[in-house]
Amino acid sequence: MTVALNKKLVGFFLYFAVGLLVVVILAPYLWLFISSISTKKDLTSVPLRWFPSKPTFENYSRLLLGGTGATDAASQFGRCALNSLIVASAVTLISVFFGSLSAYCLARIDFKGRNILSLTIILPQLLPPIALIIPLYLIVRKLGLLDTRPALIMTYISFILPLVIWLMIGHFRSIPTDIEEAARIDGCSRIGALFRVVLPLVAPGIAATFIFAFIIAWNEFFYALIFSSTQSSKTLSVLVEEFSSKFGEDYVLMSTAGVLASLPPVVLALIFQKYIVQGLTAGSVKG
Amino acid sequence: MGTYAFDYNRRKSCATIRLKKRGLEVVCREDVFLKMVKNSLPTSPFEKKGNVVLLLLLPSLILIFGLLIYPLIYSFYISLLDFNLTRPGVAPFIGLNNYVRALSDDLFLSSFLRTIYFSVVTVCTEIVLGVAIALLLKQKFRGRGIVRGLAILPWALPTVVNGIMWKWIYNANYGALNALLFNLGLISEYQVWLGEPMRALHLVMLANIWKETPVGVLMILATLEGIPEELYEASRVDGANTWQRFRYITLPLIKPMIGILFLIKIIWAVREFDLIYIVTRGGPGGGTTVLSYLAYLNSFKFFKMGYGSAIAYFLIALVMVIGIPYIIAITRSQGGLFE
């Protein structure tokens, strides 16, 4: 075999393998999308019609515009999307604010008990959610907060805050200490140096952490399943699951809800890919 | 000297320059001078180290204690009670009885073994696939950036959407898997894919592998990118073939990363709940019931919070068996947790 032919063969296998990979990654999600623009008739025909005879976005407008009335399961979509948005934003804002301050402290200031504290921060990455959900449920119930957004915000903080601290420590450590020392010598207080010098420098890291935490909070399912039951706090994750189990067998509506619920995290992740990969490698953290 | 290192020499020289600018000569003892420098720093109530630490840490400390440490201790206490939500006010202390009961419960033992099987098989598959795909994506080909970008998709997809997507694909009457295999002539009639325990378990594992592999790929890829090209060039000059280059350069260099990835992925897999709840609800016939699901079932369907907590504590123990080596590994890979 000549070298040229050999090279061509390797090239062919390379593109074949890449093509296969792309298909495996895309096919299931693409099928969900196709299902969402099909009609019930297309999807329940045997043999299956892979491409809808008449693609329709009717279900998208049905979910986004509130459906046909209060009895329609689709009418819950807007409310639950709002819940998801409020909960994820609140959790992320609170966690990033307090988490950044603490991360700075853990990254830069030497004090007693620092190592024990840092272990506490890795803990939630290891703990099984169910181990926290049982006691948190009893606490939330005692406080009379079941099925409220504050309950979700509070309980999400239990795993988002440590995650933020963990990621932010990495970002703070990447900033040379010289800069803030210079600020200190020029008469800046420690807190002043933090707000005037360090935080502006670490801003891209804060943004990356923000997006990372938001995606994880938006995607959360188990806590929301336990702590919310009605529209007053139910998140999209829970609603989408209910579309697949509670509300009869409307596969089109289920697929549409699935595609819509996945859009914010997928779009954010694709745009800020570089930061996400950084975050994943930095902390080996769970999504 | 801590990481927030006040470099006294540096500060001394800065101060010296300043004094000299004002036309003053520095003539004094070293330690007195240092004290002067120290005192010359701006002082406010926030300046004392203890106060600063407290101010920055307190909010997070309160949140972490209240939402993490206290619940954990509380749940251990509950695991020692015969706590049933349907009997308010009555929760007799029964010591370790819940734990003893679990160990003699066939359902617990089979769930335990299933959890191990689920975790080990999915994670090993993910790592092998992950290394292979990462090596593939390191090659130069057209559209490489786009393909790498796509790899983030399964990670970003909410678990719920991943779950309903596969449940729909596996659907017995109209699912795409049936249609595909039928079209290809591989099956002669539609199958109830999730109807048989072992098969259902493997299909849930497949859905999990689809979602989790790309994360590993991206992490391994990041490590691969860090390997200097010279190493490969040198080995090529020495006449090493592709396999030898992989075996003696790539593999040893990505090994630490793979070790960490293996441990953390096992931990994630052991905790798995969402996918099993959504796709199979632990069924058929308990065939996909893992420990997380069993703890959920006991606590929130049978309201036996005490027994549920005990199962959760077994799960914590299992996670810690892997978690302690993980903590040691990441501590070592970073040369100390926070140093």
Residues contacting residue B83 through CB under 8 Å, at least 6 positions apart = B91, B304, B305, B306, B309
Residue B67 at interface with chain A, using a CB cutoff of 8 Å: yes
Mutate to test the interface with A, among B54, B164, B292, B307 (most CBs of A within 10 A): B164
Inter-residue contact A73 to A67 (CB < 8 Å): yes
Q: What is the mean pLDDT of residues A189-201?
A: 85
- Give residue A69's pLDDT band: very low, low, confident or very high (50, 70, 90): low
Q: What is the mean pLDDT of residues A99-127?
A: 84
**Residue A126 with chain B: CB contacts under 8 Å:** 267, 319-320, 323, 326
pLDDT at residue A173 tops 90: no
Q: What are phi and psi of B84, to 5 degrees?
A: -125, 125
Q: Do B161 and A258 touch (CB under 8 A)?
A: yes
Tell me what pLDDT residue A131 has. 92
Q: How far is B57 from chain A (nearest CA, A)?
A: 5
Mutate to test the interface with B, among A164, A185, A188, A285 (most CBs of B within 10 A): A185
What Rg do the C-alpha atoms of chain A give, in angstroms?
Answer: 24
- Give residue A282's pLDDT band: very low, low, confident or very high (50, 70, 90): low
- A156's tokens: 């999400």
Q: How far is A199 from chain B (nearest CA, A)?
A: 14
Tell me what pLDDT residue B336 has. 46
* CA B329 – CA B335 distance, rounded (Å): 10
- Total number of residues shown for chain A: 287
Residue B74 at interface with chain A, using a CB cutoff of 8 Å: yes
Q: How far is A101 from chain B (nearest CA, A)?
A: 5
Tell me what pLDDT residue A196 has. 85
Q: Tell me the domain boundaries of chain B.
A: 8-79, 97-333
Mutate to test the interface with A, among B40, B44, B64 (most CBs of A within 10 A): B64
Mean pLDDT of chain A: 87
**DSSP 3-state assignment of B112?**
helix
Distances (CA, A) of B258 to A167, A243, A253, B189, B216: 20, 38, 41, 42, 9
* CA B194 – CA B220 distance, rounded (Å): 33
* CA A36 – CA A255 distance, rounded (Å): 5
Instruction: Judge if the upstream peptide bond of residue B284 is cis by omega within 30 degrees of 0.
Output: yes
According to DSSP H, which parts of B157-196 are helical?
159-169, 176-183
* CA A242 – CA B164 distance, rounded (Å): 10
Tell me what pLDDT residue A70 has. 57
Q: Do B3 and A120 touch (CB under 8 A)?
A: no
Tell me what pLDDT residue A72 has. 67
pLDDT at residue A88 tops 50: yes
pLDDT at residue A234 tops 90: yes
* CA A245 – CA A254 distance, rounded (Å): 9
Helix (H) or strand (E) holding B8: helix B8-21
Mark the ranges of chain B whose per-residue pLDDT is less than 70.
1-48, 333-339
Q: What is the DSSP letter of A144?
A: T
ipTM score of complex? 0.90
Q: Is the dihedral of CA B183, B189, B193, B197 positive or negative?
A: negative
Question: Which among A31, A191, A254 is the nearest to B52, CB-wise?
Answer: A191
Q: What is the mean pLDDT of residues A202-227?
A: 93
Q: Do A111 and B50 touch (CB under 8 A)?
A: yes
**Residue A237 with chain B: CB contacts under 8 Å:** 158-160
| Helices and strands in chain B: count of H runs, count of E runs | 17, 0
For chain A, domains (ranges, CATH) are 3-64 (no CATH), 73-283 (1.10.3720.10)
Q: What is the mean pLDDT of residues A49-61?
A: 84
Residues 206 to 235 of B: which have CB under 8 A from any A CB?
210, 214-215, 218-219, 222-223
Which residue of chain B is at minimal alpha-carbon distance from A116? B337
Q: Which fold has domain B97-333?
A: MetI-like fold (1.10.3720)
Mutate to test the interface with A, among B56, B81, B268 (most CBs of A within 10 A): B56
Which residue of chain B is at minimal alpha-carbon distance from A170? B338
Tell me what pLDDT residue B339 has. 39
Inter-residue contact A243 to A254 (CB < 8 Å): yes
Q: How far is B283 from chain A (nearest CA, A)?
A: 14
Q: How far is B208 from chain A (nearest CA, A)?
A: 13
**Nearest of B293, B296, B320 to residue B308 by alpha carbon:** B296
Helix (H) or strand (E) holding B131: helix B106-138
**Residue B273 with chain A: CB contacts under 8 Å:** 128-130, 222
